[in-house]
Amino acid sequence: MVSEDDVPLLGKLKEKLVQTKENWAKEGRALTGKPGQARLPPGQHLTAEWPVLDLGIQPNLTQADWSLSVAGAVEQPIRWSWNDFLAQPQVEMVSDIHCVTTWSRYDNTWQGVSARHLLARVKPRATARFVMFRSYDGYTTNVPLSRFADDDVLLAHSWEGQPLSREHGGPVRVVIPKLYFWKSAKWLRAITFMDQDSPGYWELRGYHDEGDPWTEQRYG
């Protein structure tokens, strides 16, 4: 039985449990995977290398050649030159890469402009539900707007403190850590906001429309 005297002790125990659970939640937030899910998605293996995968055309763009157009279902279309892009608020994010060819690479440090900031600038219309990325090599890939709006998504110009190399998509690539890496367009040229979904390069060729690694949305 619980006597009157025990009540403060129970109160303390409860406080401690709450504290512990709060700490778990904080640790969970520090993981780059989805909370409550394993960090390494099913069917993936870890690599320390960073493989190069693309269609074999690696555009050779100088920063002066590069620009980003954002249009479609937005209130404020924009076109950013390299200097415009660098004049936006800059963020640093650390995230994991999961490629559909089964390699994953942990703890990549990226610098660039957050998707959240871009969204605040262009103001998608209420009808906008999908985003298409277009690249300088002709590549395209589509994602739901909600995936692009995630707080770990950015347009990256640097990796591990160095300008993103040409082979990895420099001057600027997309990084969407919670989807397979084919969704992270290299050599980014344009972003189109759409009311209706539309498949990109790999999505037209048998790959999944959304590409969530934790539910193995590989082919679709």
Q: Given the rule CB under 5 A, which residues bind Mo ion?
A: 53, 99, 182
| 139 interface partner picked from Mo ion, ligand MTE, none, CB below 5 to 8 A per type | ligand MTE
Please pick, from the candidates 99, 113, 119, 122, the single residue that binds ligand MTE as defined by CB under 6 A.
99
Give the list of residues 6+ apart from residue 18 with CB closer than 8 angstroms, or none: none
Where is 86: in which H helix or E strand?
helix 82-86
User: Is residue 135 part of the contact set for ligand MTE (CB under 6 A)?
Assistant: yes
- Asked whether the beta carbons of 185 and 135 are under 8 A apart, the reply is yes
Give the list of residues 6+ apart from residue 103 with CB closer than 8 angstroms, or none: 44, 45, 46, 47, 49, 51, 97
The torsion angle over the Cα atoms of residues 192, 194, 198 and 199, rounded to 10 degrees, is: 40
Kindly tell me which of 61 and 73 has the beta carbon lying closer to ligand MTE: 61
Cα 193 to Cα 73: distance, rounded to the nearest angstrom: 5
Binding mask 167-196 for ligand MTE (x = CB under 6 A): -xx-----------xx-xxxx---------
Kindly tell me which of 59 and 124 has the beta carbon lying closer to ligand MTE: 59
Kindly tell me which of 184 and 192 has the beta carbon lying closer to Mo ion: 184
Kindly tell me which of 40 and 53 has the beta carbon lying closer to Mo ion: 53
Contact residues: ligand MTE, CB under 6 A: 50-55, 99, 135, 137, 139, 168-169, 181-182, 184-187
